[in-house]
Structure 1
Amino acid sequence: MKYIQIQGVEKPISRLFMGTGDLRKIEEPQRLMLDAYIKAGGNAFDTAHQYRGKELVLGQWLAETNLREKLVILTKGAHHDDGSPGPRVNPQAIRKDLSESLERLGTDYVDLYALHRDDPTVAVGPIIEELNEHIQAKKIRAIGASNWSYKRIREANEFAASRNLIGFSFSSPNLSLAKPKEARWEGTVSADEETCDWHAETQLPLFAWSAQAGGFFSGNFAPDKLDDPEMVRVYYSDENWERYRRAVKLAEEKGVTPIQIALSYVLYQPFPTCAIIGPRNPEEFESSIQAMNLVLTAEEVEWLDLKKEEIGR
């Protein structure tokens, strides 16, 4: 396993986060997969207050295994779809969601806490101040933003610096080799070229959700296969099919699969990255480990992303 460090978190953080969005209950297949993840050195879990019941399932597994202090837990709050309708990015929602998340997880702190959505009409000051109160209370070790634009993150961190407060230590937008034509879900943000340039400049770590673009590179999709409306709406474009073609070609040269190339692309950005993955069994997890251990050159990454016409050999 490979790791990164986040300011405020003493533990090293595995570059492959285990996602819990599809975790319904811990039965034998899930237990085997989680065992394989831990055995491989994985220690980071991604969950959210808005993921119906997932925090409870994860909390039960943590209690059974007694692994809490060895693991890094990232949870998220202040999602628009939790509680009252409409934007909920405010101190009251943060306080409520964090308290409920801690109870569900059966812990008195989370290593990483992110705001799940943004409301650009809300000033960043009260949000940063509220999150810092929870850091001071030792309920949170480090804070970040999921689905915030880099400009809002920059504004929040400038406010924090001006008040001698702790700012966002990471961002968690979508980042994948296949570029979405439009938001996959309402209020979500994908890292475009300008965002990636900012991350390269600041070296702020990025935790990528949908790092494998919903399986776009799995071989299960084709330009004339239109039975998945969401994939068609979000990812079907001439540019993405060219990225797919290049991923297939590079995979053949390296003796791996296109979806492994796509995951490796996310992990070989010019700034610190982690990928949130959702394997369904140990075999799929092993595929992700192999992708993490692939070596891609900066030139190959640029070629995959259509920024170069050829790779010099």
Structure 2
Amino acid sequence: MEKRELAGRMVLPIGLGCMNLSWAYGDPPPHEQKVALLERALELGYDHFDTANVYGLGANETLLGEAIMDRRGDFLLASKTGIVVHGPARGIDCRPEAMLASLDESLARLKSDRIDLFYMHRFDPKVPIADMVGALSRAIEAGKIGAYGVSEWGAAHIREAHAVHPMAAVQAEYSLWTRNPEIAVLETTRELGIAFVAFSPVARGALGGELRDPATLAEKDLRRTMPRFDADNWPRNLALIDRFDALAAQAGIAPAQLALAWLLAQGPHVHVIPGTTSIAHLEENFATLSLNVAPDLLASAGALINQSTVSGPRYSPAAQATVDTEDFAS
């Protein structure tokens, strides 16, 4: 598959989401396994690595700084700011002074003088968009970041920000079973010439071919708080997943590969950043780039799993309240 433009650079459309090397899905692997996975990613040809200051409260950026910054010229580096954590509570702070201080802290942890793509991790309704974008445009002028993006912003706010200073990328959860970007954001990014970066493209592991019982997930696994994995919704979703796995098996590919191929077919501006702690899965995901998946198979996958067939909302009400991307329920 040909490379696609992202933040002024041509990269492969499958990048590496680094979050779960440090946080969110159970206990992270030992440090040496994390380093080995990142090194293997570079060996394979991954050239887009995505992290954030909040992943492990800085631990993920520190990991990348230690493990792969000796190859800094070989990849596009993306990070994020804006989510703040105070003990068990989370909030959003995109005040200019807060973001610029956070940027300097991220650069220090990453051992880099520049982040190629710097996202506002969530929309902050307390701060005027012109002020938020203005701060990041000054960071671009200073050479600290190459471009800015936003994560989980709605279409109207994307347009407003892009009018202040051109936006390089929009990141949002997008997969066969999370179609919210199709309401407005996907078309908005296409129209404005903004790259779209899909996180959780394998439905938070549900379409990865292995998860059978969420009750086996680690106690602190983030998915335990998500309605689609609860005891009411999971049996119905698992029935869909079984049919999806059969589709992939009939084509001789892995379920995750079918999920990624479907996303990449949604537009030439679409990128995906699956995360993993497994080198085997890392290799499997990357191999999707060499597959030629039939359009009728992609259509069948999309008809099988979509916003009308999946059971349960993507987030709890409290988590959904922090998301600006348009929601089918509203």
TM-score after normalising by structure 2: 0.76
What residue number does 2:21 align with? 23
2:259 to 242, 257, 262: 262
What residue number does 2:207 align with? 217
What residue number does 1:76 align with? 80
What residue number does 1:145 align with? 150
Q: CA deviation at 1:217?
A: 1.7
Q: Distance in 2 between matches of 1:151 and 1:298?
A: 32
Q: Distance in 2 between matches of 1:82 and 1:264?
A: 38
Matching of residues 57-68 of structure 1 within 5 Å: 57-63=63-69, 66-68=70-72
- For structure 2, the 5+ residue unaligned runs are 23-28, 218-222, 306-330
Q: CA deviation at 1:278?
A: 1.9
SS in 1 for 2:42: helix
Aligned residues: 287
Deviation per residue, 1:14-65 (Å, 9 max, x gap): 32222221335874433332232112211211111111211111111235xx
SS in 2 for 1:277: coil
Q: Distance in 1 between matches of 2:235 and 2:156?
A: 29
Matching of residues 172-211 of structure 1 within 5 Å: 172-179=171-178, 190-211=180-201
Q: Percent identity?
A: 24
Paired residues of 1:26 and 1:57 also in contact (CA < 8 A): no
Letter in 1 for 2:178: K
Q: Distance in 2 between matches of 1:85 and 1:240?
A: 29
Paired residues of 2:79 and 2:115 also in contact (CA < 8 A): yes
Q: CA deviation at 1:195?
A: 2.7
| Alpha-carbon distance change, 109 to 147 in structure 1, aligned in 2, over 3 angstroms | same
Paired residues of 1:177 and 1:305 also in contact (CA < 8 A): yes
1:296 to 279, 293, 298: 293
Higher relative contact order (Cα pairs below 8 Å, separated by 6+ residues) = 2
SS in 2 for 1:306: helix
What residue number does 2:278 align with? 281
1:43 to 44, 47, 51: 47
| Alpha-carbon distance change, 301 to 243 in structure 1, aligned in 2, over 3 angstroms | farther
What residue number does 2:61 align with? 55
What residue number does 1:136 align with? 141
Q: Distance in 1 between matches of 2:226 and 2:96?
A: 38
Paired residues of 1:118 and 1:147 also in contact (CA < 8 A): yes
Q: Distance in 2 between matches of 1:50 and 1:118?
A: 15
Paired residues of 2:18 and 2:276 also in contact (CA < 8 A): no
Paired residues of 1:32 and 1:281 also in contact (CA < 8 A): no
What residue number does 1:112 align with? 117
SS in 2 for 1:45: strand
Letter in 2 for 1:270: G
Moved more, 271-280 or 143-152: 271-280
| Alpha-carbon distance change, 100 to 241 in structure 1, aligned in 2, over 3 angstroms | same
Paired residues of 1:178 and 1:240 also in contact (CA < 8 A): no
Q: CA deviation at 1:232?
A: 6.3
SS in 1 for 2:273: strand
SS in 2 for 1:304: helix
Letter in 2 for 1:59: G
Q: Distance in 2 between matches of 1:247 and 1:307?
A: 7
| Alpha-carbon distance change, 191 to 238 in structure 1, aligned in 2, over 3 angstroms | farther
| Alpha-carbon distance change, 86 to 250 in structure 1, aligned in 2, over 3 angstroms | closer
SS in 1 for 2:173: coil
Paired residues of 1:48 and 1:75 also in contact (CA < 8 A): yes
| Alpha-carbon distance change, 302 to 46 in structure 1, aligned in 2, over 3 angstroms | same
Deviation per residue, 1:69-121 (Å, 9 max, x gap): 22211010011437996431210111111010011111111111000111234
What residue number does 2:308 align with? none
Q: CA deviation at 1:179?
A: 2.4
What residue number does 1:101 align with? 106
